[in-house]
Structure 1
Amino acid sequence: MKRSQLIVPISILIHLILVNGVLAWFIPEVYFNSNSILFFNATWLLSAYAIDYYPTSRKERFFTNFHKPIQLYLLFALGYFAWFSLSNTPLGTIGFHSNLLLGLFASLLGYRVLFYYARGKYREVGGNAVNVVVIGRDRNLKKIRNVFDEPDLGYRYLGYFDNSHSKSPTYLGKVEEAFTYLKQKEVHQVFCIASRLSQAQLFNLMAYADNNLIKLKIVPDNKEIFTRAMTIELYDNVPVLNLRELPLETQYAKVLKRGFDIFFALLVIIGILSWLSPLIFILQRMDSNEPLFFKQKRHGVNRKVFWCYKFRSMTTTADADTKMMTKNDKRVTKLGRILRRTSIDELPQFFNVLLGDMSVVGPRPHMELHTEKYQTSVDKYLVRHFVKPGITGLAQIKGYRGEIVEQSDIVNRTRLDIFYVEKWSLWLDVKIIIKTVLNAVQGEEKAY
């Protein structure tokens, strides 16, 4: 605990050593210039400061805030190339500089792996530990204990105080006895269950913590309303719970995801659909005289209605906008069965992505009639409409795609969609895309 304040300075020092070492190795003729050394180091430090990179929480792990090292690296890379322009230094081949920046990224990533591994092992043997006590007991205590019991986080749970007597080995006594205990033991943090203490007890505890260098954390009386996406906002000095702050609401995430969508959509449209569409049109003419594309109104973000495009795989019927596809559906054409089994029929939706109605990854859009039905029969169903619908999604790669046979199918699909909405990251999108491609190649049971 005493040496924890050294973690950030040491990390900064090691990062600067890696940055300077890689630059000195690859471009010594440019690096060994007093101005360039100052510029590169200042660029790194200013970039880190701009994104608030170095302050880390105790609960942070390797993949927590993983976007930050990516941001830092990209900002530094921009500064790196800017130096050649500002100093009128010949740039040379792009391949050389790409290798340099790749080597730098690998070095920084390697240090990040080593740092979190070493910190976890150090904490497991008792280093960088914080002694914690909980005052008050309700059903949240067990959840908090789950965090305390993670060895790599470095918490040392000493026990709890509550006015309800217990035979638990971690029970330390009544709330009034907590002050005596805190005076006798070395306690770094106190977690207080607000619902179990009176206002007078809370004020006394706050005053005692401030006067004895103890960090006090208050668990509010939540009435079981907490969600994974909840945050606390301050209005003046009044804490207000925001029950659903989503990762995709930040401007950074919106730009990143939209940029990824446009890039990926153009890649598919130019590289695949440009030649596949004429081929499917020819094959379709051998099977039927239906139009190449099928379009249907679907609900998108905030329930905005848009036209969703697909390669036509079924004959035109009066119930096309109301009846969901079923196994051995007689409406499916011969070519359509191949398109649906390989999910090729979904590819025209990349035009929807380019238009901004959809994303590559997200909750699958449903027909208008089904949205009306499920929003009243499935709890929190409309949460999935906080983000753009996707061509593929977490629910789809987990097997919840296609026909809804039982209520549990749509319930589990909604549950996974909400998890995606609350836990979005670009890396999660990439993993879902990879799994989608593998599923399409291997074949899926519900792809019919």
Structure 2
Amino acid sequence: MKNKTGRYSVYIRPIQTILDLLIINLLVLVCMRSAMSNFGYHTIVSLFWLIISYYSGFYEVYRYTKGIEIFGKLIKQIFFTSLITFAYVGYKYKYVTTQEVGFYILSSLLLVGFLKYTILILLKKYRLIYGGNYRKVVIVGNGKSVDELKHFFTKNPGFGYNLEYIFDLKKNKKIELQNLKEFIIEHKIDEVYASLNTLSNNEINDLIHFTDNGLKTIKFLPDNKSTLYRNLAIQYYGIIPIIVLRKIPLEIDINNRIKRSFDIIFSLLVIFFILSWLTVILGLLIKFESRGPIFFKQNRPGFKQKDFLCYKFRSMMINKTTEKEATRNDPRVTKIGKFIRKTSLDELPQFFNVLIGDMSVVGPRPHLWSQNRAYGNKVKKYMIRHHVSPGVTGLAQVRGFRGEIETDEDMINRIKYDVFYIENWSIWMDIKIIIQTVINIFKGEEKAY
């Protein structure tokens, strides 16, 4: 079988979560009296299991996570679940014995633990036997830490890292670094591991810029000096410390699922309660004023620069310059178009994009492909915005950086807010941005044209 790169946790984690919930609920019937098997307890224990797992990171297990670390997560998860069980028993069913609860907790620990470690072992076997779920990696630099990491990758194939090449930079550093970039693109490398001992600050910054624009992950082997002054995350491959330059909250599976669930619920509410009747009204007005379709659709770059069709209510006359952004007093904009653009009603069909997964309610706004080409290499960190799904609204938009890009500074400020959002995401931030968006619509915005 040909090696397959990528992670399958997007399927494994939800399946494991469902199986764990089935275990802790079905064991109630086996270990305790039938009175405990009621809707109230099953709801409470399932809800608290999910809440506890979120804060304990119970399902945040990666290919490099140590077995003892997984065991610690398991003990923490079962401990807090047992507290909930004892509290419920004490409140509702005083005749359920301590021995019965203890047997239930022990059984849950053993079965959930068995399932978790079985999945971990099977994944490693899958990588070893079938060569699947691999990450293509390269190492940049030389020295003891590089030799240790090389040894780790080659001696632990079950972790799923395929070491493609080591650029030791011992001959001509400038040429090798250029060859590195070409190699990463040509061989579709997933992750780059760079030794801080071997690179200068300028070379580090250049590599960061390159990997950001290429949507690649870069991690660093630390030196003994404080070369980078950032809010860095440390991961351990065995006993080898690895510096992760950027920790994106939405790369954590549970966060991504929370955001996606919120997107589905919110988009359905907008579609059923607003678009269901507003589409008819605006559709008639649009058709009455000018010939053409009600909806305007355009290819835009989305998550990981994947192309998708972005939907809007048509606000312009039919023209051949759709890749040109709207300007103040744009002659292409119709009378009804001016109104719906001013009130941002033209963006509402994008909730269909949200529902099908092309977009999110909140995120960096999807730019034109022409803007991507113009600013991708011109504005630092521009491509980071493609690490998450584009949004109907975003932090940059509610801070006033929306609409026409008149100067490079406009785009730079927009990217600053986009990057801040990506690196500091929370569901509460999304809610605040949505509220501020609604306020701005009623207040009116200068660049909404």
Task: Tell me how far apart the structure 1 counterparts of residues 411 and 270 of structure 2 sit (CA, whole Å).
Answer: 29
TM-score, length of structure 1 as denominator length: 0.53
Deviation at 1:281, TM superposition (A): 1.2
Q: 1:267 aligns with which of 266, 269, 273?
A: 269
1:443 aligns with 2:436: no
Deviation at 1:49, TM superposition (A): 6.5
- What's the counterpart of residue 422 of structure 1? 423
- What's the counterpart of residue 67 of structure 1? none
Which moves more between the two structures, 40-49 or 239-248? Answer: 40-49
Offset from partner CA, 1:216-237 (integer Å, 9 cap, x none): xx9953433x544x31111111
Alpha carbons of 1:441 and 1:79: their partners in 2 closer, same or farther (altered >3 Å)? farther
Deviation at 1:393, TM superposition (A): 0.2
- Taking every aligned residue pair, what percent have the same amino acid on both sides? 45
1:221 aligns with 2:222: no
Name the SS for the 1:408 alignment partner.
helix
- What's the counterpart of residue 164 of structure 1? none
- What's the counterpart of residue 355 of structure 2? 354
- Unpaired segments ≥5 residues, structure 1: 1-32, 55-70, 88-193, 196-217
1:240 aligns with 2:234: no
1:315 aligns with 2:312: no
> How many matched pairs?
265
Q: CA RMSD in A?
A: 4.0
1:384 aligns with 2:388: no
TM-score, length of structure 2 as denominator length: 0.53
Matched residue type, 2:225 = D
Task: Tell me how far apart the structure 2 counterparts of residues 347 and 232 of structure 1 sit (CA, whole Å).
Answer: 41
Alpha carbons of 1:40 and 1:358: their partners in 2 closer, same or farther (altered >3 Å)? closer
Deviation at 1:372, TM superposition (A): 1.1
Map 1:62-73 to 2 at 5 A.
none
- Unpaired segments ≥5 residues, structure 2: 1-34, 58-76, 94-195, 198-221
Which moves more between the two structures, 389-398 or 39-48? Answer: 39-48
1:410 aligns with 2:415: no
Deviation at 1:415, TM superposition (A): 0.6
Asked whether the 8 Å contact 1:43–1:79 carries over to 2, the reply is no
Higher relative contact order (CA 8 A, sep 6+): 2
Matched residue type, 1:393 = G
Deviation at 1:285, TM superposition (A): 2.3
Task: Tell me how far apart the structure 2 counterparts of residues 406 and 438 of structure 1 sit (CA, whole Å).
Answer: 27
Asked whether the 8 Å contact 1:360–1:390 carries over to 2, the reply is yes
Deviation at 1:282, TM superposition (A): 1.1
Name the larger-Rg structure: 1
Deviation at 1:437, TM superposition (A): 0.3
Deviation at 1:47, TM superposition (A): 7.8
Q: 2:294 aligns with which of 292, 295, 298?
A: 292
Offset from partner CA, 1:322-356 (integer Å, 9 cap, x none): 21111110000000000000000000000000010
Matched residue type, 1:261 = D
Task: Tell me how far apart the structure 2 counterparts of residues 405 and 237 of structure 1 sit (CA, whole Å).
Answer: 51
Asked whether the 8 Å contact 1:40–1:79 carries over to 2, the reply is no
- What's the counterpart of residue 185 of structure 1? none
Deviation at 1:408, TM superposition (A): 0.7
Deviation at 1:309, TM superposition (A): 0.2
Task: Tell me how far apart the structure 1 counterparts of residues 357 and 47 of structure 2 sit (CA, whole Å).
Answer: 35
Deviation at 1:45, TM superposition (A): 9.4
Matched residue type, 2:244 = N
Deviation at 1:406, TM superposition (A): 1.0
Asked whether the 8 Å contact 2:54–2:254 carries over to 1, the reply is no
Offset from partner CA, 1:385-404 (integer Å, 9 cap, x none): 00000000000000000000
Name the SS for the 1:240 alignment partner.
strand
Task: Tell me how far apart the structure 2 counterparts of residues 405 and 227 of structure 1 sit (CA, whole Å).
Answer: 32
Offset from partner CA, 1:14-55 (integer Å, 9 cap, x none): xxxxxxxxxxxxxxxxxxx9999x99999999888655669x
